[in-house]
Amino acid sequence: MATDTSSFLVATQNVQIGIGSQRQHHVVSHSWRYLLPHPQSLHNLREIAANLQGMDIVGLNEVDAGSFRSQYLNQAVFLAEQIGTPYWVQQRTRDWGDIAQHSNSLLSRWPLQEVERHAFQGTLKGRGLLRAIIEVEGRPVQVLITHLALAKPGRMRQVRQLLPFLQTSLPTILLGDLNCGQGACELRLLREEGGLQSPTHQPATFPSWSPQWQFDHILISEKLQFAEVWTCARQRSDHLPLMARLQWKDAEKNLGKASTTGILSQAQ
């Protein structure tokens, strides 16, 4: 976990509702797990949480909000407890009642403010944007969680619906499975019209057993910068987690002040 006010840790993870796909053939052989409960899911979720230990802000995709297939376990709450992030919020994107409750979720070690849930308009329902303001060491930050469509036309429509949320002076972090790589038109639109930045180097996250595509993204606005970006080889989903240490761009000039404040706090 971040220990100073100049940096903090964020992550994004498509958890695949705890299915635990680790090989290509699991795409078919584990497909029944999208609808039926299975005893391996808790172990898979614990492994996912172990990968995310120490994160300050976590964006989750494909997490079940508590239905028959997850044995009525709200997986976001379970992961928040395992990781040690006391604050969480959820957006159900596909609510099929008792059968399945797909969601985007946000976990945070800081309180969440101004939470909003927005459904993307399109031919098919089930995609949306979860928005919250988080006070990161006293600084308000807008955090957006989304999971874009599989098809490019759908992704482009969704990105255009997302762009108005980027017209803000607030530092912004966008987390999610965007189903496209760094060179895609969708990412260029987010950078050129949305003012977001990608890391200089970003590891591939999909498929987890042989990563080839940069489907999972951490994008930030100009008031923030990347200090580190990494993933991990331990896999309990078809996506690897993507993690980053973020810094404020004014971190260097404020570092001395932040350190002094920390020493005073400890003395008290």
Phi, psi of 264 (to 5 degrees): -60, -40
Q: Is the model's pLDDT at 139 over the cut of 60?
A: yes
Q: Which tokens go with 52?
A: 């995310």
pLDDT at 57: 98
- What is the per-residue pLDDT across 201-220, written as a single tens digit (0 to 9) for each? 999 999 999 999 999 999 99
Residue 206, beta-bridge partner list: 213
Average pLDDT of the chain to the nearest whole number? 87
Q: What is the DSSP string of 205-264?
A: -BSTTS--B--EEEEE-TTEEEEEEEE-S--SSSS--EEEEEEETTHHHHHHHHHHHHHH
Domains of the chain, by residue range, sit at 7-267
31 touches 16 (CB < 8 A): no
- Mean pLDDT in residue range 217-231: 97
Q: Is the model's pLDDT at 21 over the cut of 70?
A: no
Q: How confident is the model at residue 20 (pLDDT cuts 50, 70, 90)?
A: low
Task: Name residues whose C-beta falls within 8 Å of residue 267's C-beta, 6 or more positions apart in sequence.
Answer: none
93 touches 103 (CB < 8 A): yes
pLDDT at 96: 80
Share of the chain above pLDDT 70, in %: 85
Q: Which has more confidence, 198 or 253?
A: 198
The least confident of 108-117, 163-172, 247-256 is: 247-256
Q: Is the model's pLDDT at 26 over the cut of 80?
A: no
Q: Is the model's pLDDT at 122 over the cut of 90?
A: no
148 touches 176 (CB < 8 A): yes
Share of the chain above pLDDT 90, in %: 70
Topology classification of domain 7-267? Deoxyribonuclease I; Chain A (3.60.10)
Q: Which has more confidence, 198 or 260?
A: 198
109 touches 52 (CB < 8 A): no
Residue environment code for 105-142, b if the CB has 16+ CB neighbours within 10 A, otherwise e: bbbbbbebeeeebbebeeeeeebbbbbbbbebbeeebb
- What is the per-residue pLDDT across 46-83, written as a single tens digit (0 to 9) for each? 999 999 999 999 999 999 998 888 889 999 999 999 99
Q: Is the model's pLDDT at 195 over the cut of 60?
A: yes
- Mean pLDDT in residue range 221-240: 93
Q: What is the DSSP letter of 165?
A: G
pLDDT at 255: 47
For residue 167, the tally of other CB atoms under 10 A from its CB is 9
How far apart, in whole angstroms, are the C-alpha atoms of residue 101 and residue 70?
9
Q: Is the model's pLDDT at 30 over the cut of 70?
A: no
The least confident of 16-25, 58-67, 99-108 is: 16-25
- Mean pLDDT in residue range 97-119: 94
How far apart, in whole angstroms, are the C-alpha atoms of residue 19 and residue 40?
8
Q: Is the model's pLDDT at 254 over the cut of 90?
A: no
Helix axes 41-51, 75-83, angle to 10 degrees: 40
How far apart, in whole angstroms, are the C-alpha atoms of residue 194 and residue 51?
30
